[in-house]
Structure 1
Amino acid sequence: MTPPSPPHLFRFSVFFILLTSGVTSQHFLTTERTTLLNLKQIWGNPPSLANWNSTSSTCTWPEVHCRNGSVVELQLNSKELTGSVPPFICELSNLETVSLRDNFITGEFPRVFYNCSKLITLDVSQNMLVGRLPDDIDRLSQLKSLEIGANNFTGDIPQAFGNLSALISLHLYQNLLNGAIPPEIGNLSNLETLGLAYNEFADPEIPFEFGRLISLKVLWMPATNLIGKIPKSLSNLVNLELLDLSLNKLEGELFPELFLFQNLDSLFLYKNNLSGKLPSVISSLNLSQIDISMNKLNGSIPNGFGKLKKLEVFNLYQNQFSGAIPTSMSQIPTLRIFRVFSNNLAGELPPEFGLHSKLEAFEVSDNKFTGKLPENLCAGGYLTGVVAFSNNLTGELPRSLERCDRIVTIQLYDNNFTGEIPSGIWMLSNISSLRLSGNSLSGELPSRVARNLSRLEISNNKFSGLIPPEISSWVKLNVFKASNNRFSGEIPPEFTTLSELTVLDLDGNSLSGELPSQIKSWNSLTFLNLARNKLSGEIPVSLTSLHNLLDLDLSENQFSGHIPPNLSNLKLTSLNLSSNKLTGTIPSSFNNMAYQNSFLNNPNLCSTTQIFHLHNCYIKPSHSNKFPTKIIVLSTFVLLAALLSVLFILRDYMKTKPNRIHTTWKLTSFQKMDFTERNILSSMTEANVIGAGGAGKVYRVGVGQPRGYVAVKRIWNNNKPDQNQENEFTSEVRILGSVRHSNIVKLLCCLCNQDSKLLVYEYMMHQSLDKWLHGKKRKLDPGLVPGFVLDWPRRLQIAIGAAQGLCYMHHDCSPPIVHRDVKSSNILLDSEFKAKIADFGIAKILEKQKPGEGDMSSIAGSLGYFAPEYAYTSRINEKIDVYSFGVVLLELVTGKEANEGDGDLNLAEWAWKRYEEGDPMVGVLDQSIKDPDTYIEEISMVFKLGLICTSTLPSSRPSMKDVLEILKRRHQLYYITEKMKQGREEFDVAP
């Protein structure tokens, strides 16, 4: 008898009725054809099963396999099935195999299969199943293969799994299992494949009993939170072919007995805390893949590794290995991937690398190698990258690299290479990155380069000659760093036509003449450094039109004339015009401490303030000897009077405030720091303000490379903070200081004194989603790219990113975190439009008073995003964030603001009304979305998802995990469709 469905399954049925067309109940007949047609109907009549009809034979349907005229197998992978598994599926009485992988099946583990008496293979992986795994799962006693990975199962793995004695394959990967790994699994003597990967088990060690799995061929346990040492009992697994224990916290040395498996093909132990040396016995195996990178292993690479004649992948990077690379390794005929970067390896690189195999990747950077780069790296014709920077390599670049048509990147910077770059390297058809800085290379720039070249770094070399006018053909160039070379002549006007250029560094050359008067297409430029050259003439006014420019350095040249007044309109975080021949007055907006070193050594430049080391514009210099004397005497009297006044004021102040403590700053860091307190405090000026809110202002502060910029939020200034502000500050620091997720903005540090509290975040170049969706409507100046709008794929990417951040807060933090102010202005976008959740000032950590709930002292949030229950409850849970996120989804689809509806309706109410009235989708779409017909199915799904998230009853809203799953599935469906349209036979989609 099937147990009653839990209450949340009813809510999910409502959810999927909304997302699909729904079905009605009917009497299901017992014939196999009728059973199959009823299955099709209950699973939403997917178009992929259109061939299932009442006229053709069921055994001719591609998804149905028969034996003796009866159905024995259902292969329904990736058919967009929705709903739960109905009990009548077992009316197919001879059913042996059921595969429902990669669909939208909901509910708990489908116990209905207990009634399929002949079932031996069950695959329900990559669905939306939830809850705990059943304690009586051993009722499926005949199962040989059970695949339930990539769902949302929680809790322990029941001990009953150890009773499924017929099992050959068991996959539980990528769930939310957070209990113990039962040692009873060791009883499965027939088990050949065990996949427990990507579950956060409760600090487990690998059960000793796993050593009894004598038939095991695959042990797949990466990212399972494993601790302790690898148990020696695993040496009993003589049939093992793949061992993957990567991405864990394992420690200790690798004992030789672990590598006595003659059948072992792949060994993955990367990113653990393993130490000691590599056992030489590994060289006696038949391995094709070794990845033991990112550990603490040391010693040398055993000489016998050259005997691994099947080896294809060799990853030892980020360890502490020393010594030379055995010459025999370069002679392995199957070697494709060779990565040993970030170690202490030394000696010469074996010259035969690439000569005997089709090498694809060769990465040996950040070691102590000497001698030449192997000449034959590209002999096999498959090389895509050479990465050997930060070594002591010498000689010329191998001319054989000119034949590497597949190569994408060459990174050889910080070595001792000499000579010229072989001409063919400049024209490699697929090369996009050429990084050769910090060598002794010479020669001139070519007139033509490969069309895909986007990054060229040749700083600190001996290149010379002119910048060719043909540089205008380098149309994909994004980063050009050529400082400290010997380039001469003028900067050609053609250079300014490169529209994709973002970084230009020509510092320390011998360039001369004037800058081109018209900067034509440098609209993307953010960094311009022409310092230490011989440039002259006036600073072109056209520079002031580069609205994305953040760093400008024209120091140590011979520029003359006035500083263009409109230069202050740029949002510069760094400016250096020192050591030139500029005249006139510094623009008033630069009169602050942020630019105190920007104008040094310009004798004819003056300032209206005293913060610069320049003469005052209001004092006319005189050749009289008496006048300066009078000035000096008068200044002395004024200084003495001021000093006395200060002493009297200080005396009175000390009397009235005897216990006042001198103001100092306390810095607390939460991430690795690559800037100082001084970097932050010196740039807290109005010129650097990029936003303001109820809690204070937000500043953009330049901190130099590689980070570039940070964002600083001042909670209050020179006022005694009230308790609410104190609570907000404490909350944000408490939460962001402890969480780590790529879709949550990083809090780098905080600075506190008794008057001010500063929060320093990573800088998000594209600011907030709110500005992209509504900025023009409200006549804001968000500094966005002119004419650029968010297309639908980018909007979906943003929705998925924000959902991932909230999903982490709700489901992966213990206790859970409720944001309480999810809105489009609190979703920030980085340079690639990756979304990150920000502003945790009113977030709430849910203590375990009641499951899923916590106290709320006062209503918090923003109008239009409030969940309706705010009006009648004093308790909160994660569903208020789900509601607010639903409003954001509706904003992405409609382009409307949260409070923008008809009459008194807000956006959520307006959207529900339009849906209930049956209005067509085109009537609610944001008109700025390009080609909406291409994505209409996806857009419609997101619109409906936004509706269900904004349901009035919290119990009717899905969890963020469910929301994320829906968004990701739709995203993958679109990806596959597009790839197929492009005619590609292969594409990679994450499970």
Structure 2
Amino acid sequence: MRNPTPLFFFFFLLFLSCVNSQSELYAQEHEVLLRMKQYFNNPSSLSHWTNSSSHCSWSQITCTNNSVTGLALININISQPIPTFICELKNLSSIGFQLNYIPLGFPTYLYKCSKLEYLDLSTNYFVGKVPDDIDRLAGLRFLNLGSNNFFGEIPVSVTKLKELTSLQLNSCYFNGTIPSEIGNLSNLEVLNLGLNLFSPSQFPSSFMKLTKLKDFVMSSCNLTGEIPESIGQLAVLETLDLSMNQLSGKIPSSLFMLKNLSIMFLSRNQLNGELPQVIETLNLTIVDLAQNKLTGKIPNGFGNLQKLTGLNFGINQLSGEIPESLGRLQSIIDFSIFFNNLSGSIPPEFGLHSNLRRFEIASNNFTGSLPQNLCYHGNLFRLTAYENKLSGELPESLGNCSSLLELKVYNNELSGEIPSSLWASQNLSTFMINDNNFTGELPEKLPVNVSLMTISYNQFSGRIPAGISSMKNLVVFNASRNLFNGSIPQELTSLSQLATLLLDQNKLSGPLPSKIISWESLRTLNLSQNQLTGEIPDSIGHLPDLAQLDLSENQLSGQIPSQLGLPSVLNLSSNHLTGKIPSEFDNLAYATSFLNNSGLCADTDGLNLKLCNSGSVPGSSSKGSSFSVGLIIGLVLVACIAVFLSSLLMMKFYQRRNQELDTSWKLTSFQKLSFTESNIVSSMTDYNIIGSGGYGTVYRIAINDDVGYVAVKKISNNRKLDQKLENAFIAEVKILGTIRHINIVKLLCCMSNEDSLLLVYEYMENHSLDKWLHKKISNGPSSDLSSATVHSVFLDWPKRMQIAIGIAQGLSYMHQDSSPPIIHRDIKASNILLDSQFNAKVADFGLARMLIKQGEQDTMSAVVGSFGYIAPEYAQTKRVNEKVDVYGFGVILLELTTGKEANYGDEHSSLAEWAWRHIRLGSNIEQVLDEDVKETFYLSEMCSVFKLGVMCTSKDPASRPSMKEALNILLRLREPVGYVEMNFGHFEVVPLLKNSKRESRLDIDDNDS
């Protein structure tokens, strides 16, 4: 028998060698990780990484066979590049660095990680292009580079990573075409290219080869054309998001044949035609087809989708009735079909079988009554059924609906009394039942948290109860055109948040409240067409914000208070007022404010009032009178002759002047014009001046019926044309002449001669944002505000959000889409103009500069800007990049959310610093929001925008988001699906998509103060 000892010793030595090798590997990996901790400057989340503990027990580390295979350093405030020695962890197969602040370009030294299969670098500050040789990571199965600053084309080399099962390149700045070769990645299960700047392209037909695809996201990718019928080949598809594109044509019927499809987002496109009639996608949980051009009826097949939780057909052209089966769905939570042409009665079983939260059927042609059980399960928070033909009474069950926040049923034919329990609701914040046939009296106990209450154009009667004083959050109270009687209760004046009070066209009597306690926020007061008596109390003149006052068609008497303020709209007509009108109203701007008051007089002719000094002089003789008359007639004749001669001279002068105008001005046009130089120059009078700022005076000039008005900025008005002014003129022309964007003011032409420079813009009916936010609306030629001002002189929150998005879109275009990029350098509320629909347009580019390279800093010779809007690094170093515009934008967001001006604070601080202090002190953000627009329904959105404003005004430019990031955040806050989490140290937008990371997140560094 052979001796086994040598063989035993061989295996024993081999075992010792392996143990020794594993021990050496363990020690080497441990040393690398501790070096990594030191490299990252010891963030607090890595404090447990110590020499005395096993690294395989650390939460960020995954080990296989006692060797490091996974590293997940997620959301720990890393601001350094990934260490170059990371691949010394030789068995590393998974790397996750998402939700940090990692800068610079793609780390190509990761190619040395030969076993890498999983790489997530999403939501960082990476910049530059994705390298053309990224296919050297040949074993990669998962790649997520989303929510970074990568730009340029998506390299074709990405499509050579044949093992990929998940590819996510969303929320970057990729442009150019979408690589069709992605269709060759046959193993893909997740593909997310959403929110990029691709050039317009049709739906990639090659993607139909991705038969293993489960999650498919291409929202906001500039897709055009039709969705191919072949999309039905994606047999295992579970999530489809093609929203916010330019897709057209019919929705392919094959889409509703996909058995596994659970989420479908096709909203905000141009899809048309009827919906497919055969629906076999029985796993659908969310269907969002809002904001398209769909026609026809809602197919009955939707009633078979027993897993359906959200259905949104809003803003389409659907007609017919709602299928009865939809009311019996047991999972439906959100039901939105507003702004269509639907008719018939509403299925009565809605709410009875499901946990309904939102029910939105506004702006259709529904008849009959509202379903009785909408809040059967007690979770309904929004009911919007306005602008229909609904009749009957409000369901009694709504009164017991403690979750209800928003009730909008105005413009219907509803009748009867309001359920008493609804008046006592504790959570209701928006209560709009105007333009119906409701009757009854207001109870003493009213909903205490309501901020917006409109009950006008009904048949409510009785007295306004003293209990209205409990509505401490009330901002708007509109009770016009009812049958209210009795006096106005003194308790009404205790509401400190009240901004709009409309009680006109009732039967109110007695005197006005003599003592106004807390109306410091009141801007609009209309008590016209009542039976009020007595004098106008002096206390009305002490209201600091009052902009519209209408007390007409009453029986008021006495004199007008000498200190009535200076409201932009004033109507005291048809009363019994006496005496001389206050001097501040003795001008033609108030010509219709005092009609039908026989006892009033004025010093100015043309106010339709008698002149205060027009009476005859006692004791004067008839002879003296005759002499006076003769003298007057003589003077009139002399004056007529003088006027005639002057007219002849002026006609000759203007003929000669017009000839000069036609020849001396050089006009450079950027648009097709319907006016000439003389149209512009001849109208530049003092009366047409609407403002001045920056480098010039601005005129409003009438052109014709097609154009209406234009705005003209005159850069200089003297013979010595300052070189600085001329340079500003050239800068503005150079920039605006090439820009075509809906959120940037349009330059029509420029004009110049030897001593003047003119810029002719489109005219913005609603002027600048600061006039609306900070109560600077005035009379005169610049006061032709849109019809919206008839109803309100303040911006509600939806309009403010619309304005914020518009500004962000304009600046994002300037920074990312313009070539070369543009920095404005003077972003402020007065440089944001508003059209008749309150769409925002960035204006006044006299300070703008072209950047040679995006992100490259440029040094200016002087700091130019406005206090409160100037970024700290610009004031200190005169060095600028696009982040100075982000700072100004952040200040505007703070103005929109708080209502305060940019220079709010003392001489050493500003609104941005004030907001930062509130955050650092942990103050309740809700307490600093603008009370005029603060409603429970919008509180979360307002808080999020406030926080975004604080982030945009960070003292560290690198900590500010880009304008595209800010825009994406605002857009996602407004998305009808998904939700937003926003806390300091963490910002996350979480859509209702599984296995997808469409988040955007911004943090506040502890060093910012």
Residue 129 of structure 1 and its aligned partner are, at CA, apart by 0.7
Change (3 A) 1:669 1:389: farther
1:564 corresponds, among 561, 565, 569, to 561
Q: Given the alignment, which residue of 483, 493, 503 partners 1:486?
A: 483
CA RMSD of aligned residues (A): 5.1
Pick the aligned partner of 1:77 from 52, 74, 78: 74
Quote the offset at 1:595 in angstroms.
1.5
Q: Which residue of 1 aligns with 2:769?
A: 764
Identify the residue that residue 861 of structure 1 maps to in structure 2: 864
Is it true that 1:406 corresponds to 2:433 in the alignment?
A: no
Choose 613-622 or 752-761, whichever is displaced more. Answer: 752-761
- Take 2:413 and 2:956, find their aligned partners in 1: how far apart are those partners? 62
- Paired with 1:960 and 1:927, the residues of 2 have a C-alpha distance of 17
Match of 1:470 among 450, 467, 472: 467
Task: Work out whether 1:161 is the aligned partner of 2:140.
Answer: no
Matched, 1:840 2:835: no
Deviation at 1:285, TM superposition (A): 3.8
Q: Which runs of 5+ in 2 are unaligned?
A: 1-24, 662-669, 673-682, 701-708, 777-802, 896-901, 924-945, 974-979, 989-997, 1002-1009
Q: Counterpart of 1:178? A: 175
Identity of aligned residues (%): 39
Distance 1:690 1:483 in 2: 36
Secondary structure of 2:421 counterpart: helix
State the distance in 2 between where 1:384 and 1:715 align: 50
The one-letter code sitting in structure 1 at the alignment partner of 2:410 is Y
Q: Does 1:975 align with 2:972?
A: no
Structure 1, unaligned runs of 5 or more: 1-27, 671-680, 700-710, 772-797, 902-906, 909-923, 950-956, 981-987
Shift of 1:113: 2.1
Equivalent in the alignment of 2:342? 345
Mapping 1:648-797, distance limit 5 Å: 648-659=645-656, 695-696=696-697, 715=713, 724=725, 727=729, 731=733, 734=736, 738-740=740-742, 760=764, 761-764=766-769
1:812 to 799, 803, 817: 817
Matches within 5 A, 1:260-275: 260-275=257-272
CA contact (8 A) 1:817 1:843 kept: no
Residue number in structure 1 paired with 2:938: none
Q: 1:581 to 1:963 in 2, by over 3 A?
A: same
Q: CA deviation at 1:762?
A: 4.5
Aligned partner of residue 815 in structure 2, secondary structure:
helix
Q: CA distance change for structure 1 residues 184 and 882 in 2, over 3 Å: closer, same or farther? A: same
Q: Is the 8 A contact 1:592 1:685 kept in 2?
A: no
Cα distance, 1:451 vs structure 2? 2.3
Cα separation, 2, equivalents of 1:931 and 1:231: 50
1:370 partner amino acid: T
Q: Give the letter for the 1:432 counterpart.
A: S
- What does residue 578 of structure 1 align with? 573
| 2:485 aligned counterpart, secondary structure | strand
SS at match of 1:346: strand
Q: 1:490 touches 1:512 (CA, 8 Å); kept in 2? A: yes
Quote the residue 2:414 is aligned against. 417
Q: Hey, what does 2:613 align to over in structure 1? A: 618
Alignment CA distance shift 1:340-1:552 (3 Å): same
Alpha-carbon distance between aligned partners in 1 of 2:986 and 2:156, rounded to the nearest angstrom? 44
Is the Cα contact below 8 Å between 1:826 and 1:837 reproduced in 2? no
Residue identity matched to 1:120: E
Q: Which amino acid aligns with 1:217?
A: K
- Describe the shift of the 1:310–1:630 C-alpha distance in structure 2 as closer, same or farther (beyond 3 A): farther
1:434-464 CA-partner distances (Å, limit 9, x unpaired): 1011001111112112221111101111011
Specify the alignment match of 1:601 in structure 2. 596
Q: CA deviation at 1:656?
A: 3.0
- Residues in 2 aligned to 1:419 and 1:847: alpha-carbon distance in whole angstroms: 65
**One-letter code of the match for 2:540?**
L
Shift of residue 232 of structure 1?
Answer: 3.1
Q: Deviations over 1:193-224 (max 9, x none)?
A: 10011001111222111010010111111111
Determine the structure 2 residue equivalent to 1:259: 256
The residue correspondences of 1:524-535 to structure 2 (distance < 5 A) are 524-535=521-532
Aligned match for 2:372, one of 355, 372, 375? 375
Partner of residue 86 from structure 1, selected from 83, 86, 95: 83
Q: Which moved more, 1:878-887 or 1:381-390?
A: 878-887
In structure 2, relative to structure 1, the CA distance for the partners of 1:962 and 1:526 (3 Å cut) is: closer
Q: Hey, what's the Cα distance between the residues in 2 that align with 1:943 and 1:308? A: 43
Deviations 1:679-726 (A, max 9, x none): xx9x9989x999866534799xxxxxxxxxxx9988459968979489
- Please state how far the C-alpha of 1:83 moved relative to its aligned partner: 0.8
Alpha-carbon contact 1:109-1:130 (below 8 Å) kept: yes
- Whether the 8 Å CA contact 2:888–2:953 is kept in 1: the answer is no
Residue 396, structure 1, aligned to residue 404, structure 2? no
The one-letter code sitting in structure 1 at the alignment partner of 2:273 is G
Bigger drift between 553-562 and 189-198 goes to 553-562
Output the amino acid matched with 2:442.
Answer: L
User: What is the identity, as a one-letter code, of the residue corresponding to 1:861?
Assistant: V
Letter in 2 for 1:322: S
How far apart are residue 44 of structure 1 and its match? 2.9
Question: Retained in 2: the 8 A contact 1:120–1:143?
Answer: yes
CA gap 1:29/1:239 in 2 versus in 1, 3 angstroms? closer
- The residue type equivalent to 1:614 in the other structure is L
Aligned-pair CA distance for 1:968: 9.4
Q: For the structure 1 residues 835 and 59, does the alpha-carbon distance in structure 2 shift closer, same or farther, using more than 3 Å as the test?
A: farther
Q: Distance in 1 between matches of 2:747 and 2:315?
A: 25
Q: Give the whole-Å Cα distance in 1 for the aligned partners of 2:891 and 2:85.
A: 40
Cα displacement string for residues 180-199 of structure 1 (whole angstroms, at most 9, x for unaligned residues): 11111111111111001100
Query: What are the equivalent positions in structure 2 for 1:139-158 lying under 5 Å apart?
Result: 139-158=136-155
Change (3 A) 1:634 1:484: farther
**SS of the counterpart of 2:510?**
strand
Letter paired with 1:961:
S
Instruction: Look up the match of 1:188.
Output: 185
Answer whether contact 2:577 2:597 (CA < 8 A) is retained.
Answer: yes
| Partner residue of 1:362 out of 353, 356, 359 | 359
Deviations 1:729-768 (A, max 9, x none): 9649938984455xx8x78999999999785355435889
Q: CA deviation at 1:484?
A: 0.5
SS of match in other structure, 1:258? helix
Partner of 1:250: helix, strand, or coil?
strand
CA distance in 1, matches of 2:641, 2:652: 17
Distance, in Å, in 2 between the alignment partners of 1:882 and 1:350 is 52
Structure 1 Cα separation of the partners of residues 468 and 860 of structure 2: 63
Q: Distance in 2 between matches of 1:634 and 1:728?
A: 59
Q: Is the 8 A contact 1:152 1:176 kept in 2?
A: yes
Q: One-letter code of the match for 2:596?
A: N
Whether 1:50 and 2:53 are equivalent positions in the alignment is no
Do the aligned residues in 2 keep the contact of 1:802 with 1:836 (CA within 8 Å)? yes
Over 3 Å counting, the alpha-carbon distance change for 1:48 and 1:389 in structure 2 is same
Q: Which amino acid aligns with 1:40?
A: K
Q: How many angstroms apart in 2 are the aligned matches of 1:167 and 1:621?
A: 100
In 1, are the aligned partners of 2:191 and 2:217 still within 8 Å (CA)?
A: yes
Judging changes above 3 Å, is the alpha-carbon distance between structure 1 residues 165 and 552 closer, same or farther for their aligned structure 2 residues?
same
1:179 maps to a residue whose letter is: G
Q: Is the 8 A contact 2:295 2:318 kept in 1?
A: yes
Match among 216, 221, 225 for residue 224 of structure 1 = 221
Mapping for residues 499-518 of structure 1, pairs under 5 Å: 499-518=496-515
Aligned residue type for 1:561: G
Deviations 1:479-522 (A, max 9, x none): 10000011111111111000011110111111111111111100
> Structure 2 matches for 1:105-124, cutoff 5 A?
105-124=102-121
Deviation at 1:529, TM superposition (A): 0.7
Compute the displacement of 1:815 (Å): 4.2
